[in-house]
A = this chain, B = another copy of it.
Amino acid sequence: MKVTIKDIAAVAGVSYSTVSKALNNSPLVQEKTKRKIIKLSQEMGYKPNFAARSLVSNQTMVIGLIWPTIDRIVLSTLVTKISNEIRNTDYSMVLSVDPVETSIETFKRFQVDGIILFEENISNPIETESLPILSYGVINDARKNYPTIDPNYEEAMNKAVKYLFGLGHTKIAYISNLSSPDPMQIEKNRSFRKAMQLHGLSIKDEYIIDTEGFNFYDGYTATSKLLNLHDRPTAIVGGSYDLSSGIIRAISEKKLSIPKDISVISYDNIPEMENTEVPLTCIGVSIDQLATEIVHSMIKFVENNVISNPKQFNKKMSPVLVERESCGTPS
């Protein structure tokens, strides 16, 4: 049978309310008794009853993460980081891979204290109804009444183009998933064009390539197509880590060298960028920072139980450019 605080109380010869206080490290109980009780509880293998605790405290100390599209590498990295980050707090994280609406239902039944939501693959804003929801996405939709953490694609693409331009590049190509209905992808693509304009650079249609997906091979095919052009670009901006190995592979198969013949910079700032065939210069909010911000904003939001004005938790992040070995001056 499970051991409860009453069992401990019986053995310790105190009342169970004292045990409760001791276990919660209340100052209202003597150090001596406290230590005795704690020691006893360990010996007896006491595990607090989650249901009972949340019944009385009205919170579960669990935050739910909804992840309906478990296929992109970058996202799985983010999920892992978030999971680790939450493990460092008093909260636990739990994942649902069901569709957003279903997941929210489940999480409500579960009475999680808050929900983290990726805006990838979700087009309509969600109805929150009293449960703290925080999204990772783009701050733009006035209809949303929940806060969002925004990786700031505009600044990222701007920095990328500025960097390339500074090195002397003007013939800059962009390889990304342009056919995705995903609001985050759309914003990313839009931001590239805007950055080019800002630098007074013309955008050749043939330099904008749609990968139509996020697999290695999508990046490979797109890049091969690009390199078959008579007038090749001198630099490529890649839209995602998921595409980058394919991009690099296509270049090296054409016997071109990075960065001597062609420079490559990729969106997504994750450590794995170091480990591609050529260590990639990349741009984006560091994934660790992203994870940290997401979970701490979430927790602040949850604990600031006043749910009025959720937008105060909106946050635009600062992308950084990590220089490695894939960019140089055009030849």
Query: How many Å from the CB of A77 to the closest CB on chain B?
Result: 9
On chain B, the residues within 8 Å of A304 by CB distance are none
Quick one: closest B residue to A92, CB to CB?
B106
Report the copy number of this chain in the oligomer. 2
| CB–CB B80/A109 < 8 A | no
Give the distance in Å from the alpha carbon of A84 to the alpha carbon of B62 in the complex: 22
- Please report which residues of chain A, range 88-119, place their CB below 8 angstroms from some CB of chain B when the two chains form the complex: 92-98, 102, 106, 108-111
A49 to B71, CA, bound (A): 34
Nearest chain-B residue to A52 (Cβ)?
A: B55
Q: For A245, give the chain B residue with the smallest CB separation.
A: B217
Which residues of chain B have C-beta atoms less than 8 A from A29's C-beta? none
Pick the contact of A217: B80, B87, B216 (CB < 8 A): B216
Q: Report yes or no: B92 in contact with A94, Cβ–Cβ below 8 A.
A: no
Contacts of A79 in B (CB 8 A): 70, 97
Find out whether the CB atom of A47 lies under 8 angstroms from the CB atom of B109. yes
Residue picked from A47, A48, A98, most chain B C-beta under 10 Å: A98
Q: Which residues on A are within 8 Å of B, measured CB to CB?
A: 47-52, 54-55, 60, 62, 70-71, 73, 76, 79-80, 83-84, 87, 92-98, 102, 106, 108-111, 215-217, 245, 249
16 contacts across the A-B interface (CB closer than 8 A): A47-B108, A47-B109, A50-B111, A51-B54, A51-B111, A71-B73, A71-B76, A83-B97, A87-B102, A93-B96, A94-B94, A94-B95, A94-B96, A216-B216, A216-B217, A217-B249
The 4 closest A-B pairs by CB, nearest first: A95-B95, A51-B55, A216-B216, A51-B54
